[in-house]
Structure 1
Amino acid sequence: MTELPTPKPLPGWTHIYSGKVRDLYVPENGPDSYLLVVASNRISAFDFVLEPPIEGKGAVLTALSNWWFEQIDVPNHLVPHVPELPEIPADVAPRAMLTRKLEMYPIECVVRGALTGSGFAEYQQLGSVCGIELPAGMQDGDQLDPPIYTPAYKAPLGEHDENITYERSVELVGAEVAQALRDTSIRIFTEARALAASRGVVLADTKFEFGRDPRTGEMVLADEVLTSDSSRYWDSARYADETLPRAERLASFDKQIVRNWLAANWDKQGTPPVLPAEIIEQTLGQYSELFDRLAGSADPDQPTA
């Protein structure tokens, strides 16, 4: 994995952590129970952060997350404006979320409404996904109804997440929390899939992350939710058209364009090549189209905190 760039300083805020996509800050003064989560414009593939960043990506993803948080009847990590906190600088406000500080569970709550990606690869080998037996003869992209819950263990930074069984998640967080994570994730996914379908979009799979509020003990939906980076979406009409090649039917509203270009132009040795302008433009277009299809008139350029 490439070394992450140092994020810009924000007046009144102290940077504490960066992932491949997000930068986390805490207030220099004031309550220590809040985080400022800033979605960068970085884009990664094959464990490398690529150049150049995609200007506008962070704002679109943040707006889509916030829109979904409004649709989901589950406690989430967002908090309203807190007067004693520093102001959020205007240049990052459209891609920033002010959140509660949580004790995060070490589980990625993956829900699959279609058999594809790594799940399909595992199915081809074992006939199951994360210990869940599936019918024989399924094809890439086939719907799973009801959806299945296939958790993953969130590995330390720099290591790969590990698909696990539900029983292993019980060992990690206890039976009560594991059941709550599974049941809540499946409920959110089922409701979101129906809403997406009404907008002409298939929600194929996603991952949720939850934490515990140390002050209340409440389980809280956190991180991003149902974005192009955390979910796989397909166009409903294209998906239903069986005259199209499978790759076209399953073309997703995400950074697959970037992965495809890298696969054709890089041997995965050394530093990845710089992304050309047309690939940057097409990728942002995919993110923006999904936002428009789902959220309609919501404005991704408006501040979100």
Structure 2
Amino acid sequence: MMIKEQLDNTIKETNFESLGKLERGKVRDNYFDDGRIIMITTDRISAFDHVVGTVPFKGQVLTQIAAFWFNMTKDIVRNHLTDVPDPNVMVVRKCEPLPVEVVVRAYLTGSAWRDYKAGKDISGIKLPAGLKKDQKFDKPIITPSTKAERGEHDMPISREEIIERGLVDEETWNKIEEIALKLFARGTEHAAKQGLILVDTKYEFGLLDGEIVLMDEIHTPDSSRYWYSDTYQELFEKGEEQRSLDKEHVREWLRQHGFSGDGSPPPLDAGIRIEAARRYIKVYEQITGRKFEFLKVPILDRIRKHLKDAGYLKEEE
């Protein structure tokens, strides 16, 4: 099996000194140089704001899906992407990131459902009583969160608090909400054509020369929740779990093994890593309509060659 053979051919981290100053995120190794960032998407997988292991082909899937969506939505908002020299690498413009993550939800599920069940507001939004798990909202809602430091948890924040605290001014926030809903509508429309429901997603925005720019990633299975549309209604009516193509099953596996964000996560076994890879590849094929290309060359060697060929990496490294 192709995935099983690649369990040891994953990228946990990179170290290309001449690319620029390295800053590691949960999943990406970002190299800052002048006005650009070279973003190498590793195969690290995070859950509950912790890196919990690696999954074969994950970095390739995330990069290719993000590039696909950036191209599909560039008429809605400018994005930071300038080049994709390797299946795991994006070269982007450096933006001034806004300190809020913009979460758009079309269904009551995940952390929103858990908060609702506990009687809490969701980012300052009070939902009506009597809603069921996985129920579709009348229209998508925006539930922002703060950007947490690594190892910390993102915290819900209301629209009013964002403006009151001066995190984003009201005029800019109004524009961001409008853009986010347009992006979500585009994603929903395309996903539906591919037999999927875009359940919820997270966007990150920045400013470049005073203009709002979409950055980081878009509609990937790391930043989004996808369900199969053909079984949604039946499973909803039965109160059963939806068939998903995202990393929710990894979170569920971790919960079953006693980890929900506190302490150290248990190591992922081969079975959950293979299943995660299968789902990542499936969502790539389903969204893009393209056959996934299994690249068996040692990943770091391939990235190094492509970065050299494109002139980003010095020959001696």
TM over 0.5: yes
Partners of 1:7 and 1:127 in 2: how far apart? 38
- What does 1:1-305 correspond to in 2, within 5 Å? 7-10=13-16, 12-27=18-33, 32-51=34-53, 53-72=54-73, 73=75, 74-80=77-83, 93-126=86-119, 128-171=121-164, 172-213=167-208, 216-242=209-235, 245-248=238-241, 250-266=242-258, 271-297=264-290
Secondary structure of the residue aligned to 1:12 is helix
Partners of 2:239 and 2:109 in 1: how far apart? 11
Structure 1 residues 121 and 180: alpha-carbon distance in aligned structure 2, compared to 1, 3 A threshold: same
Tell me the percent identity: 38
Secondary structure of the residue aligned to 2:105 is strand
Secondary structure of the residue aligned to 1:67 is helix
1:67 is matched by which residue type in structure 2? F
Q: TM-score, normalised by structure 1?
A: 0.84
CA drift of 1:15 comes to 4.0
Number of residue pairs the alignment of both structures matches: 283
1:284 is matched by which residue type in structure 2? A
1:262 is matched by which residue type in structure 2? L
CA deviations on 1:92-126 (whole Å, 9 max, x unpaired) are x2111100000000010111111111112222233
CA drift of 1:181 comes to 1.2
- RMSD over aligned Cα atoms: 2.5
Partners of 2:259 and 2:178 in 1: how far apart? 42
Q: Which runs of 5+ in 2 are unaligned?
A: 1-10, 296-305, 311-317
Secondary structure of the residue aligned to 2:268 is coil
CA drift of 1:272 comes to 3.2
Given that residues 64 and 300 in structure 1 are in contact (C-alpha distance below 8 angstroms), is that contact kept between their aligned partners in structure 2?
no
Given that residues 205 and 231 in structure 1 are in contact (C-alpha distance below 8 angstroms), is that contact kept between their aligned partners in structure 2?
yes
Partners of 2:293 and 2:103 in 1: how far apart? 26
Given that residues 12 and 42 in structure 2 are in contact (C-alpha distance below 8 angstroms), is that contact kept between their aligned partners in structure 1?
no
